């Protein structure tokens, strides 16, 4: 399974690196995930919300479409000069998210990455979650049916609630696509206990 985490200037460190490490650990426990970080546009260096410089080898594009795309948040709630809010205003990344979704890529968001997904238009009328400070905006501006669960899985769109929920999202992705035994093995190896409830579309 090919999984990409898209990075843009101002992304939150934990919301991107947490699911990255969890999913990489899954391969040590028997999963077969190809996990990579890619930039939102054709460039090699991306700067995090706290100024860490990250080098990537590729960028997000249709002709290298992942099976699952993880969209982190960062900078939305305090309207930073760079981050998820800025990416939504620019419009390029939301447009690409919509196109990837239409072609069958499963889209997952961590924290206010869910707002970037909403800006693509694919969350209108759908159940979703995001950071508590953005929940009203997700409902009122983007028409999502906002739930308070840790993770909301609609099948082809998955959203995870707050900054630390990227760990739980990673474990849920492992459970869904590689099995509960591997998810439990990763959880044990990382000495982590999953938090909250996952709502899944029946």
Distance CA 1, CA 31 (A): 9
- Mean pLDDT over 179-193 rounds to 97
What does the pLDDT read at residue 133? 95
What is the enclosing helix (H) or strand (E) of 56? Answer: none
**Confidence bin at 65 (pLDDT 50/70/90):** very high
Q: Quick check: 66 and 77 in contact, CB under 8 A?
A: no
| C-alpha distances out from residue 148 to 120, 137, 178, Å | 21, 14, 26
- pLDDT of residue 101 exceeding 90, the answer is yes
**Digit-coded pLDDT (tens) for 71-81:** 999 988 888 88
- pLDDT of residue 62 exceeding 90, the answer is yes
**Domains of the chain, start order:** 2-200 (3.40.50.880)
Share of the chain above pLDDT 70, in %: 100
The radius of gyration of the chain's CA atoms, rounded to the nearest angstrom, is: 15
Which residues in 82-111 are b (16+ Cβ under 10 Å) and which e?
Answer: bbbbbbbeeeebbebbbebbeeebbbbbbb
Dihedral sign (CA 176, 181, 185, 191): positive
**Digit-coded pLDDT (tens) for 39-60:** 999 999 999 999 999 999 899 9
- Mean pLDDT over 5-19 rounds to 97
- pLDDT of residue 141 exceeding 90, the answer is yes
149: left (phi over 0), alpha (psi -120 to 50) or beta: beta
């Amino acid at each position: 399974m090919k999984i990409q985490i898209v990075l843009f200037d101002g992304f939150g460190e934990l919301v991107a690196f947490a699911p990255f490490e969890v999913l990489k650990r899954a391969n040590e426990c028997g999963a077969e995930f190809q996990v990579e970080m890619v930039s939102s546009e054709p460039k090699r260096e991306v700067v995090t919300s706290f100024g860490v410089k990250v080098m990537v080898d590729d960028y997000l594009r249709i002709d290298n479409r992942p099976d699952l795309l993880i969209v982190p948040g960062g900078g939305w709630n305090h309207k930073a000069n760079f981050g998820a809010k800025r990416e939504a205003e620019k419009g390029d990344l939301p447009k690409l998210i919509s196109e990837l979704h239409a072609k069958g890529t499963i889209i997952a968001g961590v924290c206010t990455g869910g707002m970037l997904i909403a800006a693509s238009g694919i969350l209108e009328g759908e159940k979703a979650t995001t950071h508590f400070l953005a929940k009203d905006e997700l409902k009122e501006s983007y028409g999502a049916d906002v739930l308070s669960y840790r993770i909301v899985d609609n099948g082809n769109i998955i959203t995870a609630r707050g900054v630390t929920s990227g760990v739980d999202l990673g474990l849920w992705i492992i459970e869904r696509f590689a099995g509960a035994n591997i998810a439990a093995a990763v959880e044990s190896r990382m000495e982590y206990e999953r938090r909250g409830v996952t709502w899944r579309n029946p």
